[in-house]
Amino acid sequence: MKVSPLVTLDTNVIISSFLTPGKSREIIDLAARRKILVFSSPQLEEELIKTLRGKLKYSDEELSQALISFKEIVYKYVYPKNKLKVIAQDETDNRIIEAGVEGNAEYVVTGDKHLLKIEKYKGIKILSPSGFLNLYSM
């Protein structure tokens, strides 16, 4: 039996899964079936809400439905104690790494170039959705 990997998903992966079929949605499907265990944090949920409401102009009903879907795939919420300063170019990217560290994640899955450039942080592999799926399917 394959052990489910511990993963932190960037909000861009979650939002992408809402908008179009593709690699991000495949990852969300894995999380929904608990083939991967997703760790998130209140900070990441807050960023998700801000993006859906602000940039994507979700209505209250759409936002509520999106949050229900999001909470269904989260295995466990973590509450990072330490503020990291790994990514200088975009301070909010550090919240993803903080959640990954706090949850002892094996992977951070993101579409963010700043994070992908790092490749690895404290043993956590930072992969694109397709990179993660390629590794996971092995």
What is the band of 82 on the pLDDT scale with cuts at 50, 70, 90? confident
| 2 pLDDT tier (thresholds 50, 70, 90) | low
- What is the structure's pLDDT at 87? 86
Q: What is the mean pLDDT of residues 120-134?
A: 96
Burial class (CB in 10 A: 0-12, 13-18, 19+), 5: middle
The domain segmentation of the chain, as residue ranges, is 6-136
Predicted confidence band of residue 1 (pLDDT cuts 50, 70, 90): very low
Tell whether domain 6-136 is in CATH 1.20.1260.10. Answer: no
Q: Burial letters for 99-125: b for 16+ Cβ neighbours within 10 Å, e otherwise? A: bbbbbebbbbbbbbeebeebeebeebb
Is 138's pLDDT higher than 70? no
* CA Rg value for the chain: 14
